[in-house]
Every structure is written in structure tokens, then in C-alpha cells.
């Protein structure tokens, strides 16, 4: 470590200079550590890095970190000692412990000899077989709250802790706080956690399949089939990442929906034409029903996104329909909104599944337990409709068919305000 080089460089210089070089070297290390911490978003890895940095920077044998948990208890989360890093969540009493005192008082504490210290609790030493001699503990502040404590234990060469040690550990604690908050935010982001979870399944399937493909005794036709599986799963992963980004942008508000007049019957006709080839392949009949037939149906919104919604519902209506089935695309002018329905004569959706239909990654497995979809289409659809001030829903009967519907408010109408349309031509 760079820690040991300063003394060689500064041999023969005064104590003040030596201290200066020491501080400079620590400062450089701190900068390096700060960059490193901020690039780590996995909380356990991060905690491991923090305790390692704490021990290195203060020239101590060991270091540990304790954090307040949601239930108000203080927990020992990670430690580094000569035996390596351990990550364990042991409760530390708030009363009668050094860390508890630091968290409650929000001030650093140096204990030169724990044997003479009434606040010392041997709780952690007992479970880790580590012998604490002296220690430095600093609070971790987040905004105006103390949410943890960083400790450095047993100064090397039987030395005492210095002012520099306190400053250094305080600075590290501040940097660690930011990194921990980032990592916690990352962990709390359902979308990312779910995405990672969803990616693992097809990735595992691909990996397992590639092993199989290499088996010399495998028949050629089986090999082709397996290569197809890999291709399909890779396609699905590609779709998933694209749709995932779409959804993440919608959820974070980064997608701005256009607010332009949209001629709905025109949009619905275009969507039907786009889907026609796919429907023809399965002899599925498509019908557009406008009610009233000659109504002007103008809404304010994002033409492309509304087309995406319609196409998604139509694609599903084809995909989950029976061969030779029927699809009705209806639009009905209501007093304050337009109601659009996509009705099919497909497999239907069971009551248990219906309530989860718009959840991200939700899919209904087919009879073989296989699904080729991403389960993101309907979640995206719902976001887009809600972004337009509309509502979306589904009715279905197993074996008979499904109707997805959504509403789009007429211009000048706030959803549910009951006023007559003002912007209507
Ligand atoms: P994907 O189709 O990509 O899996 P969606 O979010 O569009 O994702 O659909 C989620 C699930 O809803 C599908 O897996 C399917 O089981 C079910 N589903 C959607 N539309 C229909 C429909 N019209 N009829 C029957 N099931 C449907």
C-alpha cells in the first residue's frame, strides 16, 4: 500500500513535514477510495470495501461498520480483521456500547484502553474471537440524522490514535455515507431488482443449452432445436432490455408524451393494417367498429405511443387467439371520454391471473409452462394510458375470450370533472 512509502520518501525530514506527507498520502488514498466506493452499488461489497479502507487509512488491525436498521436497532454489518472480511448482522445494544454512544451523541470517540471503559461491550468480540485493545469510532451522518458508526480497532504497533486518524475516519465516513445511500437506493429500486431476476432465468437457460449443444453424442436435429432455443431466448432478452428501458423512462418521468391532436379512427385503422399479415397467418378476422360510425374522435396525446398501445393489445389478441378466431377493435364516443376495446375469441385469462395482468414481468405460462413473452407489454401500456389521463382494464372468460379496454379523455375534460367538452370540434 502507498501507506508505507511515505516514511521512505520523507526520511530525514522534520516531524511537521513527515506529518504533512503522511496526510497527503492519506488524502490521495481517500480520493482513490471515494471513486472506488461510488462505483460499487452492491451493498455487501460496499460495506466490505469501507471497512477495509477504514483499517488501511488509520493503520489499524481491524475495522467495523454498524448501521441503524429500519426497526430502530443498531446492527453490526461488516468487519475486517486479520482473519479477513466478515459480513454479519449482529445487534449491538444502543445503551452500553461504544457504537450506541456515538450514534446517540453524534460525536467521535477515542478509547485508548477498552478495559477501563464502562461503555465497552464485548458482545462482538465474543462472537468474533477478536480482542479489542483500543478504538476510534466516528458517527455516520445522513442529512441531520446519525445512521451508523464506523470503528477502527487496535492501532498498529501499540500506538495511540491521533487527531489525523479522527479527521481521516470522519472524512471516510462521510464518503461512505453517500455510497451507502446510493447502494440502498439501488437495492430499493424494484424495477432493477426485478429486471436482474428476470434476466437470470433466460441466461441460465442459454448457458445450460450451450453445454448440451457441445455434447458429442447429440443428434443433429436435436442440436438444431437447441440452437433455436438459444436464438429465441436471446431474442427475448433483447426485447426485454428494450422494453425495460421504455418502462424505466416512463416510470421515471423521462419520457415526455406529446400533446398533439390525434385522429383516433385513423390511428386504429393504421394499427389494424399493421397487424393484418400476422392475423391472416392464423386466419383471424379483424373488424373495426366505430360508435357512432361517423363520429369525430379527436384526443390530445402522443400519436406514436397510443399506436404502440393499440398494437400491443392487438398483437396479444392475435397471439392468444385461436386459429380462425375473431378480433373486434371498437371505439365508442362517451360524454367525456372515448372508450376503446380490443375483444378476442382466444384462450381467456383466469380470475387469479386477471388481477396481475398489468404488473411488470407478469406472464401466464402456457400448458407446457413455457412463455415466449417478456411480461412488460401491458405494464408499458398501462403507463402510457395513465400518462394520457385515461384508465385501462380487462374482462375475460376462460375458453371464450378477452376484452382489454382503455379510455382517453376528450380534450378540455379533466378526468371525472363532469363538465361538458369544451375543445370538441
Ligand atoms: P407478453 O405478451 O410479452 O408476455 P404482456 O404484458 O403483453 O407480455 O402480457 C402479459 C401476459 O398476459 C401474457 O403472458 C399472456 O399470458 C397474458 N395475455 C395478454 N393478452 C392476452 C389475451 N388477449 N388473451 C389471453 N392472455 C393474454
Phi, psi of 188 (to 5 degrees): -80, -15
The answer to whether residues 17 and 166 belong to one domain is yes
Q: Which ligand 1 atom sits closest to the C-alpha of 342?
A: 23
* Domain region containing 65: 11-185
Residue 350: inside a domain: yes
Distance 316 CA to ligand 1 centre (A): 6
Residue 190: inside a domain: no
Mutate to test the pocket of ligand 1, among 236, 378, 400 (most ligand atoms within 8 A of CB): 378
Residue 286: inside a domain: yes
How far is residue 103 CA from its own chain's centroid? Answer: 30
317 lines ligand 1 (CB under 6 A): yes
Residue 368: inside a domain: yes
Total structural domains within the chain: 2
Of 141, 167, 185, which residue constitutes the final position of a domain?
A: 185
From first to last of its 425 residues, what are the pLDDT tens digits of the chain?
344 444 444 456 687 777 777 777 777 788 788 778 877 778 888 999 999 999 999 999 999 999 998 888 999 888 888 777 777 778 888 888 899 999 999 999 999 988 888 777 666 666 666 788 999 999 999 878 899 999 999 999 989 999 989 999 998 998 898 888 878 777 766 677 777 777 877 787 788 788 888 888 888 888 898 899 889 889 888 888 889 888 888 887 778 899 999 999 999 999 999 999 999 999 999 999 999 998 899 999 999 999 999 999 999 999 999 999 999 999 999 999 999 999 999 999 999 899 999 998 888 866 444 556 788 999 999 999 999 999 999 999 999 999 999 999 998 755 444 444 443 33
345 lines ligand 1 (CB under 6 A): no
Which pLDDT belongs to residue 172? 92
CB atoms within 10 A of CB 49: 20
Q: Which ligand 1 atom sits closest to the C-alpha of 344?
A: 23
Residue 424: inside a domain: yes
77 lines ligand 1 (CB under 6 A): no
Sheet containing 84-92: order of strands:
84-92, 74-81, 60-68, 145-155, 135-142, 109-111
Distance 373 CA to ligand 1 centre (A): 8
Residue 293: inside a domain: yes
Q: Which ligand 1 atom sits closest to the C-alpha of 366?
A: 16
DSSP 153-174: EEEGGGPPP-HHHHHHHHHHHH
Of 158, 185, 212, which residue constitutes the final position of a domain?
A: 185
The answer to whether residues 176 and 267 belong to one domain is no
The model's pTM is 0.58
Residue 332: inside a domain: yes
Which pLDDT belongs to residue 138? 97
314 lines ligand 1 (CB under 6 A): no
CATH number at residue 28: 3.30.450.40
Residue 408 vs residues 275, 292, 376, 385, 388: alpha-carbon distances, Å: 22, 16, 21, 7, 7
67 lines ligand 1 (CB under 6 A): no
Amino acid at each position: 500500500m502507498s501507506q508505507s512509502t511515505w516514511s521512505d520518501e520523507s526520511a530525514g525530514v522534520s516531524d511537521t513535514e513527515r506529518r504533512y506527507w503522511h496526510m497527503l498520502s492519506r488524502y490521495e488514498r481517500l480520493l482513490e477510495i471515494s471513486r472506488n466506493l461510488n462505483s460499487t452499488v452492491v451493498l455487501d461489497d460496499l460495506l466490505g470495501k469501507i471497512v477495509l479502507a477504514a483499517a488501511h487509512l488509520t493503520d489499524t488491525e481491524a475495522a467495523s461498520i454498524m448501521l441503524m436498521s429500519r426497526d430502530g436497532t443498531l446492527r453490526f454489518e461488516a468487519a475486517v480483521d486479520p482473519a479477513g472480511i466478515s459480513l454479519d448482522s449482529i445487534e449491538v445494544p444502543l445503551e452500553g456500547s461504544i457504537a450506541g454512544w456515538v450514534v446517540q451523541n453524534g460525536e467521535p470517540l477515542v478509547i485508548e484502553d477498552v478495559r477501563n471503559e464502562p461503555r465497552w461491550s464485548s458482545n462482538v468480540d465474543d462472537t468474533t474471537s477478536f480482542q479489542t485493545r483500543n478504538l476510534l469510532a466516528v458517527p455516520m451522518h445522513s442529512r441531520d440524522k446519525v445512521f451508523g458508526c464506523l470503528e477502527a480497532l487496535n492501532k498498529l504497533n501499540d500506538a495511540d490514535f491521533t487527531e489525523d486518524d479522527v479527521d481521516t475516519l470522519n472524512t471516510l465516513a462521510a464518503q461512505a455515507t453517500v455510497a451507502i445511500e446510493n447502494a440502498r437506493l439501488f437495492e430499493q429500486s424494484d424495477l432493477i431488482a426485478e429486471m436482474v431476476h428476470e434476466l437470470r432465468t433466460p441466461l441460465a437457460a442459454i448457458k445450460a443449452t450451450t453445454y448440451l449443444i457441445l455434447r458429442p453424442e447429440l443428434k443433429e436435429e436435436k442440436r438444431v432445436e437447441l440452437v433455436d432455443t438459444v436464438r429465441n431466448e436471446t431474442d427475448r432478452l433483447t426485447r426485454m432490455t428494450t422494453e425495460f428501458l421504455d418502462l424505466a423512462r416512463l416510470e421515471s418521468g423521462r419520457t415526455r408524451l406529446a400533446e398533439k391532436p390525434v385522429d383516433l379512427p385513423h390511428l386504429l385503422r393504421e394499427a389494424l393494417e399493421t397487424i393484418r399479415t400476422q392475423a391472416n397467418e392464423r386466419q383471424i378476422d379483424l373488424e373495426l367498429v366505430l360508435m357512432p360510425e361517423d363520429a369525430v374522435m379527436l384526443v390530445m396525446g402522443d400519436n406514436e405511443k397510443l399506436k404502440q398501445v393499440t398494437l400491443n393489445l392487438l398483437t396479444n389478441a392475435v397471439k392468444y387467439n385461436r386459429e380462425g378466431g375473431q378480433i373486434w377493435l371498437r371505439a365508442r364516443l362517451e360524454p367525456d371520454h372515448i372508450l376503446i376495446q380490443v375483444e378476442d375469441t382466444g384462450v381467456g385469462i383466469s380470475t387469479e391471473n386477471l388481477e396481475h395482468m398489468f404488473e411488470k414481468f407478469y406472464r401466464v405460462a402456457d400448458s407446457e409452462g413455457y412463455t415466449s413473452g417478456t411480461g412488460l407489454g401491458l405494464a408499458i401500456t398501462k403507463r402510457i394510458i395513465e400518462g394520457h389521463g385515461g384508465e385501462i382494464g380487462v374482462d375475460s372468460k376462460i375458453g371464450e375470450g378477452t376484452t382489454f379496454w382503455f379510455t382517453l379523455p376528450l380534450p378540455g375534460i379533466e378526468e371525472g370533472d363532469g363538465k361538458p367538452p369544451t375543445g370538441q370540434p
